[in-house]
Amino acid sequence: MTFEVRIRPEAELDMSEAASWYEQQQRGLGQEFLDEALAVFMRLGETPLAFELIYRSARRALLRRFPFAVFYTFEDDVVLVVGVLHGSRHPRHWMRRA
């Protein structure tokens, strides 16, 4: 069974900003970042409870190649991505969204 994955606008903005930054560093790297994030979203849709519960109902899935994490909740068979943030960001930043 595959679950629906919804991405909040704030998370889309997180991804866009990160991809732009990576693209400025090296051509094509921004797309590689987006591809990695999308791969994580696919895994979330397949096994949403496999990732670490870190705060109330919020969970975290780490990107493999980039120092980013996907923060999400899983309720009523829907994965809701609330943030895609660099590991150095303060947790309060995504906690307000969850």
Using one digit for the tens of pLDDT, what is the confidence trace for 74-84? 999 999 999 99
Write down all domains in the chain, each with its CATH number in brackets: 4-95 (3.30.2310.20)
**Per-residue pLDDT reduced to its tens digit, 2-45:** 999 999 999 999 999 999 999 999 999 999 999 999 999 999 99
pLDDT band at 1 (very low <50, low <70, confident <90, very high): confident
- State how far Cα 52 lies from the chain centre: 13
pLDDT of residue 87: 81
Instruction: Summarize pLDDT for 40-75 with one digit per residue, the tens.
Output: 999 999 999 999 898 888 999 999 999 999 999 999
CA distance 17 to 21: 6
The reported pLDDT for the residue numbered 56 is 85
Neighbours of 85 (CB within 10 A): 23
Report the alpha-carbon distance of residue 92 to residue 37 in Å, rounded.
Answer: 21
Confidence grade of residue 90 (pLDDT, cut at 50, 70, 90): low
